[in-house]
Every structure is written in structure tokens, then in C-alpha cells.
Structure 1
Amino acid sequence: MISHHLGLDYALNPGWMAPYVAGLSVGKARARRCQSCAATSFPPLRVCTCGCLEGDWTDLPGTAQILFRTTGLDGDFGLVHFDGATTKTTLRLQAIPATETRGVIAASGDDLPVLCLTALTGERDG
């Protein structure tokens, strides 16, 4: 067997999820609302659970309730429910005390469209 290093350089196009990815990059919660049943998914679903393929983009307030949380070697994570969404998602919790049950979405700060939830501040409490 011959050992050889292979490096790949490629870019992924967000496609239909472009509005969602753009929102994440600036700390906005952009969800998809089903045109048939009005279910609002964050993160977005391409096909709604009702089977409908059509949806519209909507901005959520960005606040969320922390339902469950865990701490691992690489940080804190939580299962959260965003206000205005009918789905739940798992994401990184940043600087949210264990006693807090709510947070707000924020840009990750590392130029990546990464979900994170930070502590609520006075101007975005809800």
C-alpha cells in the first residue's frame, strides 16, 4: 500500500437554502413557512411534513427556549424551540448560564454560517 495525501478544495452552493444560510451569517433566524399548512420550520424543510413542496421565507424574532442542554468536551449544546417555529433544532450554546432557559441567535463570529445561541440582552428580550 502506498500512502499519499490528497487535498480537495471545493465550495458548496447553498441552493434553495440560500436565504437561510445568509440569515445565519448575520445572526438572523430565517425559517420556511409551508404554503399549505402554515407549519414554520427552522431549520427549513424542503418538503413539509404535510407533503407540500411550496414554502415562503419568513424571519423569526430569533429568540428561543432551551428545552434540554448538555455539556461536552467541546462546549454546551441544547435542543431549542425558536419562537414562531413549529420545529426544534440542536445548536451550540455560548455563554448561557445553566440556570437560563432562553437565548437569542447570533452570528458565530468566525465567518461561517453556524448556529449558536447566546444570552438574551435587553434590546432583544421577548
Structure 2
Amino acid sequence: MTPDPYPPPEFTLTVQAADARTLRLAIHGYLDYDTSDEFTPAVDEVLDAHAERHGPVLRHLHLDWADLTAFDSSGLSALLALRRHTHPAGITLHLHHQPTYFSRLLEVTGVMGHLTQHAHGTGSPEAALP
């Protein structure tokens, strides 16, 4: 049997660093149509483990995109779903080392500011602000 000339795209997520209020994750490989359904459960698993260990005190989720290979509208949808999950919990997303094509898609769709908008903690005085 000959090897498949088009192997399935791969996606992995690794924890780079963590403390009670900050978590740093690296995204590797593809975040596209074929893998975007893996992104949300993978991040949720890390967030759940963090909350188990530290409680609901996480405030900053840093995502490192340096090893991203591909990103499309399905990946963008998964990233927006992550924002919908984290923002109400008071967790601000920070995006680092974005490849040009990633930044361009965020720019063209106008979501960069939305994704990285500062989240107010649910128990903080800022949460009461309109």
C-alpha cells in the first residue's frame, strides 16, 4: 500500500504556561473545515482542567498562532464560538504570532477588535458597568 499523498490535516493544542489568572495555549497545524470541530472541545478540556485546579479566576487566555498551518472560515467560526464562551466568564482573549493569512481574515471580516475586546470579570465592579 502506498502512503496517502494527501494526509488528513492535523490539529493540536498545547499548554505553554498557566497560572491562576492567565493561560497560554499554542495552536499547531490546521484550524479549518476538517479540524475546527476539534478546537472547541480541546480548548474546553483545558479550560475545565484549569477551573478545577484554580477555580473560576481565569482572566486572560493567550493564544499563540505561530505554528498554525491553515485557517479558514470554519476556524474563524470556532474562534468566535470560543469568544462567546469566554467573554461572559470574564476571560479576555489575546492573540499572538498570527500568520499573515490569519490576520488578513480577521481584518477583512472585521472581528479582531471583537475577539480581543476586554472582558470584565463577572464578580468585578466593572461587570456592573453598562
TM-score with structure 1 length normalisation? 0.22
Bigger fraction of residues in strand:
1
TM superposition score normalised by structure 2:
0.22
Q: When you count helix as a share of all residues, which structure comes out higher? A: 2
